Structure 1
Amino acid sequence: MLMLLLIIVGLILALIVLGIVIYIVSIYNRFQTLKNGAEATLGQIRVALKKRLDMINQLVEAVKSYASFEKETLTKITELRSSVLKANTAEEIQNIERESRNILGNILVAVENYPELKTSETVKELMDAIKEIEDEIARHRYTYNNIVQEFNTKIDTFPSNIVANLFGFRKMDYLQFEEEIYERPKISF
C-alpha cells in the first residue's frame, strides 16, 4: 500500500515537473519565434531600403543632366547601398534610412527647381516607385515594431520574464524613423 502511494505521488510529481518543463519550452519557443520574426522583418526592411537606394541612384542619373550633384552624394549612395544589407540592428537600419531620406530630400529639391523634370516620364515613374517603396518600408516597420512590442512585453511580464532571464533574452529596440514620424517625404508633381 505504501509502495503504491509512493508511486502515485512520484507520478504526480513527475507530471507536474513535465508540465513545468513543457510550459518553459513553449515560452522559450515563443521568444525564439518572435526574435526570428523580428530578424526576418528587419531583413525585409533592408531589402526595401536597398530598393529605395537603387531608385534614388536611378533618379540621380535621370536628374543629373539638369542639376549637378556632388560626387560626394553619388559616393554616399554607393556606400549606403553596400552597407544596407550588412545592417544587423535597428539602430544601423535607422541610420541608413535617415541618410537615404536626406539624399532623397536633396534630389526632390533639385526636381522642384527644374519644372521640365516634373514632366519627365522617367522621373515620374521613379518617383512613383519610390513612393511604393516608402509605403513598403512603413508596413515592415509597423510589423517589426508590433513583434518587438510583444517580445518586450513577454520579457516584462510574469512568468515569461523568468524564462527570459534564464535564457538571456534582452529587450529589443523599436525601429523609429524620426523624420517620418513628423513628416513623410512629399513625392508629388
Structure 2
Amino acid sequence: MLICGLLAGGVILFLALVIIGFTTMVSYRNRVVEAEKNIDQTVSQVEVVLQRRFDLIPNLVETVKGYADHESEVFREVARLRGQWSQSDSPEERQRISVELDPKLNEILVVAEQYPNLKANRNFRMLQVQLEGTENRIAVERRRMNLAIREYNILIEKFPGNVVAALFDYEPRVDYFEAVPESRNAPEVDF
C-alpha cells in the first residue's frame, strides 16, 4: 500500500510538473507573440511620422524656394530623396532615406535663416513648427521602436523565454534604428 501511495504521489507530482511546465510555456509564448506585435506596431508608427514629415517637406521647400532660388541644389536633393521614399517598399529603406534626409532639412532651415522676410512669413513659421514637432515625434517613435526590440530580445534570451524561443524558432531582432555614421557630423552649408 505504501508503494501504491508513493507511485500515485509520483504520478500526481509528475502531472503537476507537466501542467506547470505547459502553462509556463504557453504564457511565455503569448508574451513573445505580444512583444513581436509591439515591434510591428512601433515600426508602423515610425512609418506614420516619417510619412508626415515627407508630406510637410514639399510645402516647406516651396515656401523657402521663393526666397532662395540660388540654393536649388538642396531642393533638388530633397526632391530626389522624397521620390526615393515614395518608391520604397521596405521600412528599412525608408529609415535609411529618412536619415539621409535629416541633414538636408537642416540645410533648408539654415537657408531660411539667411532671409529675414522668410523667417517673418507666417506660412513658413507654421510649417517650421510643424516640421520641428514631426522631428520630435520621429525621435520619440524611433526610441520606442528600439525599446520594443530590446524588450523582445530580452524576453527570448532569458530563461525560460529562451526555451520557448528555441521551441518555436524565434530569433533575436537586429532591426534597431541606427543613424548613419555621416549623421554624427553637423552638415556644412556653404552660401
Q: TM-score interval w.r.t. the shorter chain?
A: 0.7 to 0.9
From 55, 75, 82, the equivalent of 1:77 is 82
- Report the Cα distance in structure 2 between the residues aligned to 1:31 and 1:24, rounded to whole angstroms: 10
CA 1:79/1:144 → structure 2, altered by over 3 Å: closer, same or farther?
A: same
Give CA-to-partner distance per residue, 1:65-107, whole Å, 9 cap, x none. Answer: 2223354532431331453xx333xx43430221221331232
Q: Number of aligned pairs?
A: 181
Q: Are residue 96 (structure 1) and residue 101 (structure 2) matched?
A: no
Q: Structure 1 residue 15: deviation in Å?
A: 1.9
Q: Are residue 148 (structure 1) and residue 149 (structure 2) matched?
A: yes
What letter is aligned with 1:79?
Q
- Report the Cα distance in structure 1 between the residues aligned to 2:20 and 2:103, rounded to whole angstroms: 54
Indicate the residue corresponding to 2:14 in structure 1. 13
CA 1:172/1:184 → structure 2, altered by over 3 Å: closer, same or farther?
A: farther
Query: Rg bigger for which structure?
Result: 2
Indicate the residue corresponding to 1:175 in structure 2. 177
- Report the Cα distance in structure 2 between the residues aligned to 1:92 and 1:35, rounded to whole angstroms: 20
Indicate the residue corresponding to 2:165 in structure 1. 164
Tell me if structure 1 keeps the 8 A contact 2:63–2:124.
Answer: yes
Q: Are residue 46 (structure 1) and residue 47 (structure 2) matched?
A: yes
Tell me if structure 1 keeps the 8 A contact 2:39–2:145.
Answer: yes
- Report the Cα distance in structure 2 between the residues aligned to 1:35 and 1:158, rounded to whole angstroms: 18
- Report the Cα distance in structure 2 between the residues aligned to 1:144 and 1:184, rounded to whole angstroms: 25
- Report the Cα distance in structure 1 between the residues aligned to 2:17 and 2:185, rounded to whole angstroms: 55
Sequence identity of aligned pairs in percent? Answer: 32
Give CA-to-partner distance per residue, 1:37-63, whole Å, 9 cap, x none. Answer: 111011011000010111112101212
CA 1:140/1:72 → structure 2, altered by over 3 Å: closer, same or farther?
A: closer
Indicate the residue corresponding to 1:127 in structure 2. 128
CA 1:72/1:94 → structure 2, altered by over 3 Å: closer, same or farther?
A: closer
RMSD after superposition:
2.7
What letter is aligned with 1:124?
R
Query: Where does the alignment leave 5 or more consecutive residues of structure 2 unmatched?
Result: none
What letter is aligned with 1:110?
V
* TM-score in terms of structure 2 length: 0.80
